[in-house]
Amino acid sequence: MSWIEVVDANGRVVARRAAEGVPCTVGSALDNTLLIEGPDVAPYHARIDREADGRLTVTVLGQSSGLQRPGAPELAMFLALTPSAPVAVGGSVIRLVDEATRDVSVVASGPEPRWREFVSRRPVQWGAAALLAISGAAIGYFTMPGSERAVNALAVAVALVLAECAWVGLWAITGRIRHGRARFGEHFVVATAIAIVGWAVAELESWQQFLLPGAGAAATVLLAVTAVVWALAILLHLRVMNQAHWQKHVRIAAGFGVALFVMVLAVRDYQGPWSSDIEFSAVLKPFARVWASSPDQFGESLTKLRGQLDKDDEEPAATVAEDTAGS
């Protein structure tokens, strides 16, 4: 029996597969058939196939750096794999042998993480789409009162789903270009979960600014939680794309979270045409009086809410008056 073996720079066989078990993939991602680690190895670097005449060939995948013969500087996109002609990938060598070497241990690829297996299930993906649409409909129906509640619910649901599809589509296209697989459904489940968590955190921020204005410590903590949610979103999307390079992914996500925290912290006291206190008070409904920090603060919050509601009532009336005057 012939075997395909991966030999690292120290001469150790670190991966092995029977030659009859092709096609198979080679790369640094954990779900490859043959796992090869190294800075010059792409997550999905190459694929080994058997041609019609029985020969084995190695073909480059995605945006990998290419293939070469050991010791040769020339890079190729396609090479034959024979007992006398191994193929170099990064600092490792893929070779074909008639009998597997037995004096070294083989490092096997790790199993698929449970969370990634969960998000790859079709029922879970369709359930995420339904949950997102229902959430959008509820937001449109209950936070946009008026005679057109059903229309508002439909509009917000459609807008929310389309916006998430656009976000997920960017990740899927990037994954397709860099790693050969889009994984749109997996990204969609992650985006839906993060959107719901982010909405819950945003509601906490709304209540804090409405009920506890000026509570700097609480506002900073909630801002930090928001940054953590976004960092977690970036990290999970990166892990869906590629299971390798964990430390690199953590650095990217952490850097994004810190940058977001600093940026929002720097501009959160901005008071321009849009005032966060008034905006939040416009969507909040009657609340328990015991939540207020003091009777004065409770009255101030109600005054803000009444002022915003009066303003909302004046805007349609002004529009009607303008239309009447124009006609």
> HSE (CB half, 13 Å, CA atoms) of 66?
9
Q: Is residue 311 part of a domain?
A: no
Number of domains in the chain: 2
Could you tell me the CA-to-CA distances from 82 to 9, 86, 102, 185 in Å, in that order? Answer: 20, 6, 20, 39
Do residues 169 and 118 share a domain?
A: yes
Question: How many Å is the Cα radius of gyration of the chain?
Answer: 28
- Domain ranges, residue 256: 114-270
For residue range 48-93, what is the model confidence (pLDDT) as tens digits? 999 888 889 999 887 677 888 888 778 888 899 988 889 988 788 8
Do residues 258 and 176 share a domain?
A: yes
What pLDDT score does 233 carry? 93
- State what percent of residues in the chain have pLDDT above 70: 71
Do residues 90 and 134 share a domain?
A: no
| CATH number where 41 lies | 2.60.200.20
Q: Is residue 248 part of a domain?
A: yes
Q: Among residues 33, 65, 97, which one ends one of the domains?
A: 97
For residue range 99-138, what is the model confidence (pLDDT) as tens digits? 655 444 444 444 456 787 788 889 999 999 999 999 888 8
Most confidently modeled of 44-48, 143-147, 204-208? 44-48
2-16, 150-164, 205-219, range with the lowest pLDDT: 205-219
What pLDDT score does 185 carry? 92
Q: Is residue 304 part of a domain?
A: no
pTM score = 0.58
Do residues 92 and 165 share a domain?
A: no
What pLDDT score does 2 carry? 83
Tokens of 41: 């190895």
Cis peptide, bond prior to residue 113, ω within 30 of zero: no
Of the candidates 205, 251, 204, the residue with the CA atom closest to the CA atom of residue 231: 251
Q: Does residue 45 have a pLDDT over 70?
A: yes
Do residues 165 and 241 share a domain?
A: yes
What pLDDT score does 301 carry? 65
Do residues 119 and 200 share a domain?
A: yes
Rounded CA-CA distance 288/291 in Å is 6
Do residues 140 and 262 share a domain?
A: yes
What pLDDT score does 314 carry? 60
Q: Is residue 290 part of a domain?
A: no
Rounded CA-CA distance 280/278 in Å is 5
Q: Does residue 37 have a pLDDT over 90?
A: no
Tokens 């960017």: give the residue: 170
- State what percent of residues in the chain have pLDDT above 90: 23
Rounded CA-CA distance 184/195 in Å is 16
CB 42: neighbour CB atoms within 10 A?
A: 26
Rounded CA-CA distance 27/33 in Å is 8
Q: What is the average per-residue pLDDT within 260-269?
A: 78
Do residues 30 and 156 share a domain?
A: no
For residue range 275-306, what is the model confidence (pLDDT) as tens digits? 444 444 444 444 445 455 566 766 666 676 66
Residue type (1 letter), 137: A
Do residues 126 and 245 share a domain?
A: yes
Do residues 162 and 89 share a domain?
A: no
> How does the average pLDDT of the chain come out, rounded?
78
Q: Is residue 313 part of a domain?
A: no
Do residues 207 and 257 share a domain?
A: yes
